[in-house]
Amino acid sequence: MTGPVRLGVLGCADIARRRTLPAVRAVDGINLVAIASRDPHNAQAFASSFGCAAVTGYDTLLARNDIDAVYIPLPAMLHATWIERALVAGKHVLAEKPLSADLPTTLRLLDLARSTGRVLVENFMFPHHSQLARIKELLSSLGTLRTFSSTFTIPPKPADDIRYLPAVGGGALLDVGVYPLRAALHFLGPDLTVTGAVLRVDATRKVTLSGSVLLHRTDGTAAHLTFGMEHAYRAAYDFTGTHGILTAEHVFTPPPSHHPALTLTQDGHRKELTLPADDQAASTVRWFTTAVTGRHTDHGHTHTVHLARLVGQIEEQAKTTLVA
């Protein structure tokens, strides 16, 4: 296609307001055209803050011929329905993670994207932060990697938060647990299998609150992942090799002004490294824009499929503890 990508948004989610849409406004080659909500007052208030049109109803936005692509920041369990409708309507799609709650649905959506000739991208922003390239460079100094650990935990949300609705928000595994899983795939590759998992589940609301997962590669390298929404905040990586240890903090949702801090330990000596700040949201939007305009064809589908596979394995194998 020629000209800027014309973007519409389905929903008025907080992540759209704080991260994605400011990045859209900052990136060349993409224009925000309209924002849709089921509530006309929400649509108007949200759209006015970004200087675009307000639309009542998601299907109404999908029917517009001045929209090339849509961003879907809806709750996790609503992703699949609206991704499918958007692709059928001929729109490219940037959807919040995960694409769906199960592997068969994810595969079907990716097949639909291919058959319609549309770009479908699962919106993980952290792989587009420049710190990941620097971390990969430093891993060579650790010798042979033996273990990888990653944590993403957040404090409890208000009782009426949508994450606590299993049929809508999907719980902690689909909200925060997918981050360390996606990180493990990024650093260790797709040769990962779930060895064991423990999930804490709210006995009343039937929603996952937190969990721990052990993965392994066929060479014996292990990944220990922790996630949840009943903790102090932490978002981190820990790599242990035969010749050193590397730790990184605040890795998943750093603001554009944040300077990542790494700690490299070798032979008992600690070295603190401070990296340049980077806007991972802008990098993600730029990457999506170049995909829509045909300048690259790798849309991350391999990682998307393996992530859905691991989530399914966790749900099938996990030991569950019910908590009041």
Digit-coded pLDDT (tens) for 136-151: 999 999 999 999 999 9
Q: What is the mean pLDDT of the chain?
A: 96
Averaged over 156-170, what is the pLDDT?
Answer: 93
Instruction: Check pLDDT > 80 for residue 90.
Output: yes
What average pLDDT does the segment 281-299 reach?
93
Do 142 and 253 belong to one domain? yes
Last residue of a domain, which of 106, 123, 140? Answer: 123
Tokens at 10, concatenated = 């389905």
- Within-domain flag for 200: yes
pLDDT of residue 295: 81
Is there a domain that residue 297 lies in? no
Domain annotation covers residue 202: yes
How far apart CA 200 and CA 202 sit, in angstroms, is 7
Kindly state the average pLDDT of the residues 62-72.
98
Mean pLDDT of 103-116: 98
Q: How confident is the model at residue 1 (pLDDT cuts 50, 70, 90)?
A: low
pTM, two decimal places: 0.96
pLDDT tens, 235-266? 999 999 999 999 999 999 999 999 999 999 99
Q: Are residues 190 and 315 in the same domain?
A: yes
What range defines the domain where residue 110 resides?
5-123
| CB atoms near residue 49 (< 10 Å) | 12
Instruction: Name the pLDDT band for 297 (thresholds 50, 70, 90).
Output: confident
Domain shared by 160 and 65, yes or no: no
The confidence band for 13, taking pLDDT boundaries of 50, 70 and 90, is: very high
Instruction: Provide CB contacts within 8 A for 149, sequence distance 6+.
Output: 223, 224, 225, 226, 236, 237, 238, 239, 240
Condensed to tens digits (0 to 9), the pLDDT of residues 22-37 reads 999 999 999 999 999 9
Q: Single out the residue in 69, 101, 123 at which a domain terminates.
A: 123
What are the tens digits of pLDDT across the range 176-217? 999 999 999 999 999 999 999 999 999 999 999 999 999 999
Q: Give, for 50, the enclosing helix (H) or strand (E).
A: helix 40-50
Question: Any catalytic annotation for residue 136?
Answer: no
| Tally of structural domains, the chain | 2
CATH number of the domain encompassing residue 53: 3.40.50.720
Confidence at 311, pLDDT banded by 50, 70, 90: very high
Catalytic residue among 97, 136, 271, 319: 97
The answer, yes or no, to whether residue 118 has pLDDT greater than 80, is yes
